[in-house]
Amino acid sequence: MDTDPDLNINNHEKILRSPYLLVIGLAFVGACAGIPYHLDYIRITTDIPATSLLPQSVISANIFFQLFIPAAIASVIGLFILERAFPWAFRFPLPGQIVKVPTMSGSSIILVAILVGMVMGLFLTLLTPVSNYLIPGFSGNTVVYLLDRIAPWKGLLAAVSAGIIEELEYRLCFMTLFVWIGTRLVRVTEPSRAILWVANLIAILPFGFMHLNNVIAAGGQITPISVGIVLFGNGICGLAFGVLYWRNGLSSAIIAHMVMDIILYALVPFLLLL
């Protein structure tokens, strides 16, 4: 019995165009991009002599798997929920846009994401002296010291890594999960703006707490004030990325996050070298 060649082609294209493959591929790229920066960070901040450290290949593999595995698992969970609960948001090339709003053109989505990322990067840059003043032990000089000793190109790769990995975990997975929980609680199929905002607010909590490591790296103490400042600064950014995710899709949130981190981890170090 002959098979329909068009059916075979469509099935093949369907597999290749699967959002699952794409986001796992993104997690792989993000994990690889983060290795150079994290290697330098370990070298600069550790008190262990270089000769006593594990081989660089072993450390690199450890960094890769620590970044890749959680992001890949989070991506699959987020897409699984989207595919079954919000099928209109399960799309190729990148999922998201949970709210059914008039679709922007591709160029408009990119432009808005870049502008949001620039504003958030400037916001966090200006927040550094406030942190320096209010957080016990926190030193902006320590941040400068670290950034000054890590090549800007590695900071650029770190921005790509963070933009991908963190958006896969905190927007695609956590925010989607909380939106789904909200729709189940109120028994609706399409989330309201209230559900989206509540889910966005909840999702920024783990996102903000994760960045407390930056305070420790700068010599700061974990106090209620430092927690409040970190949650405020990263919370504002997380809210902005969440809005981009539910309105324009995951790609928009990733681009904005990358632009913000390019300013923080690549542009600022480059200016310090001048």
Contact 71, 168 (CB under 8 A): yes
The predicted model scores a pTM of 0.87
- Mean pLDDT over 72-101 rounds to 84
Least confident of 74-78, 124-128, 161-165, 172-176: 124-128
Using the predicted structure, report yes or no on whether residue 12 has a pLDDT greater than 90: no
What is the rounded distance in angstroms from the CA atom of residue 149 to the CA atom of residue 143?
10
DSSP state letters, 126-156: HHHHHHHHHSTT--HHHHHHHHHTS-HHHHH
CB 142 within 8 A of CB 217: yes
Q: How many domains does the chain have?
A: 1
- 208-225 average pLDDT score: 80
Residue 117 DSSP symbol: H
Cα–Cα distances in Å, from 74 out to 135, 170, 203? Answer: 32, 8, 13
Residue identified by tokens 């808005």 is 112
pLDDT confidence band for 201 (50 / 70 / 90): very high
Question: Residue 172: which of 113, 109, 245 has the closest Cα?
Answer: 245
For the segment 122-144, what is each residue's pLDDT rounded down to a tens digit? 999 888 878 777 777 766 555 66
Determine contact, residues 109/248, Cβ cutoff 8 Å. Answer: yes
State the pLDDT confidence band at 196, using cuts at 50, 70 and 90: very high
From residue 194, alpha-carbon distances to 175, 235, 253 in Å are 13, 18, 20
C-beta of residue 246 within 8 angstroms of C-beta of residue 98: yes
Nearest by Cα to 209 from 247, 185, 235, 187: 235
If pLDDT is split at 50, 70 and 90, which confidence band does 111 have?
very high
45, two tokens: 């901040």
Question: Which residue segment(s) compose the domain that 100 sits in?
Answer: 5-273
Asked if residue 268 has pLDDT above 60, the reply is: yes
Maximum CA pair distance of the chain?
77
